[in-house]
Amino acid sequence: MSNKYPFVEDTLGKKLAAGTGLPVYCLTCRRTALLDVPSW
């Protein structure tokens, strides 16, 4: 992965490569959860 600035995680593959999760927001209960997506 290159060191470009600004770093944009616009795909699931880039998010997994960066080691970040996928946050999801519920409009009904107004809670945020971080999805645990396996990277295999």
Q: What is the pTM of this model?
A: 0.47
- Please give the pLDDT value at position 2: 59
Domain ranges of the chain: 11-40
| DSSP labels, the chain | ----SS----SHHHHHHHT--EEEE-TTT--EEEE-----
At residue 5, what is the residue type? Y
- The upper half-sphere exposure of residue 34, i.e. CA atoms within 13 Å in the direction of its Cβ, equals 6
Q: Quick: pLDDT tens for 1-38.
A: 556 677 788 888 888 788 777 889 999 999 999 887 76
